[in-house]
Each structure stands twice: as structure tokens, then as C-alpha cells.
């Protein structure tokens, strides 16, 4: 529905386009604007980045990051290994795979509204 609204708006604006002569007014305004000042922000950003990296390495950030990563991986593996798979059946696995594939096809179809999917052409409904 949103795509149709956008098309209608685009058609309206294309049909009613008006060019207004400004006799160089816009160019004069753009020339009189002050130049952007980015230099102090670049220096400040560099100083903050350097200070942050120094604090990270001086305060043992690498070791803390390594400990966090190891603990996270151990927790993930423990969680996966603690699942009781004796109650699962092959039918449940097939149904789960079918459901995931159905969702994937639906999302793919929604992401390409004007293209074809699986050889069928999608048309817009009124």
C-alpha cells in the first residue's frame, strides 16, 4: 500500500513540477555562508581517542576483554550442552526447518516488491 502511495505522489509531483527562477539568489546565499569549521573537532576527537586507548591498555583492558570473551564462550557452550535432546523427534526438526524456510521466503518476498520470486511475477493489488 505504501509503495502505491509513493508512486501516486511521485506522479503528482512530476506532473505539477514548477521551476522558479531565482536569478542567482541561491548561489549568492551559498557563497556567503561561512566555511565549515571541522579542524578543532578533528583534534579533539584524536585527543579523546588517544586518551581512551591509553586508559584501556594501562588499566588492563586487554586482559579484561580476554576474560570476558572466554567466560562468554564457556557460558554459550555450557548452555548448548545442557539441552536435553532425548525428547526431540525428527518430525520436530523437520517442522522447525519448514517454519524457518517459510519465514525466510516471506521476508525475501517482502524485501523485493517489484521483482519476481521463484518465477512468479508479483502484481500490486488495488
Q: Report the chain (126 residues): mean pLDDT per 10 consecutive residues.
A: 81 85 87 80 89 95 95 95 85 94 91 61 53
What pLDDT was estimated at residue 113?
62
What pLDDT was estimated at residue 117?
52
* pTM of the shown model: 0.40
What pLDDT was estimated at residue 125?
53
Cell triple for residue 32?
A: 556567503
What pLDDT was estimated at residue 2?
66
Distance of alpha carbon 97 from alpha carbon 111, whole angstroms: 21
String of DSSP letters for 65-125? HHHHHHHHHHHHHHHHHTS-GGG--HHHHHHHHHHHHHHHHHHHHHH-TTSEETTEE----
What pLDDT was estimated at residue 74?
96
Amino acid at each position: 500500500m505504501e509503495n502505491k502511495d509513493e508512486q501516486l505522489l511521485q506522479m503528482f509531483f512530476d506532473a505539477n513540477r514548477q521551476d522558479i527562477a531565482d536569478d542567482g539568489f541561491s548561489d549568492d546565499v551559498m557563497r556567503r555562508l561561512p566555511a565549515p569549521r571541522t579542524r578543532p573537532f578533528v583534534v579533539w576527537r584524536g585527543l579523546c581517542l588517544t586518551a581512551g586507548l591509553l586508559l584501556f591498555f594501562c588499566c588492563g583492558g586487554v586482559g579484561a576483554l580476554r576474560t570476558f570473551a572466554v567466560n562468554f564462550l564457556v557460558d554459550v557452550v555450557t548452555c548448548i550442552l545442557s539441552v536435553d535432546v532425548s525428547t526431540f523427534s525428527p518430525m520436530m526438526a523437520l517442522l522447525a526447518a519448514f517454519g524457518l524456510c517459510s519465514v525466510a521466503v516471506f521476508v525475501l518476498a517482502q524485501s523485493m516488491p517489484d521483482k519476481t520470486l521463484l518465477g512468479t511475477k508479483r502484481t500490486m493489488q488495488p
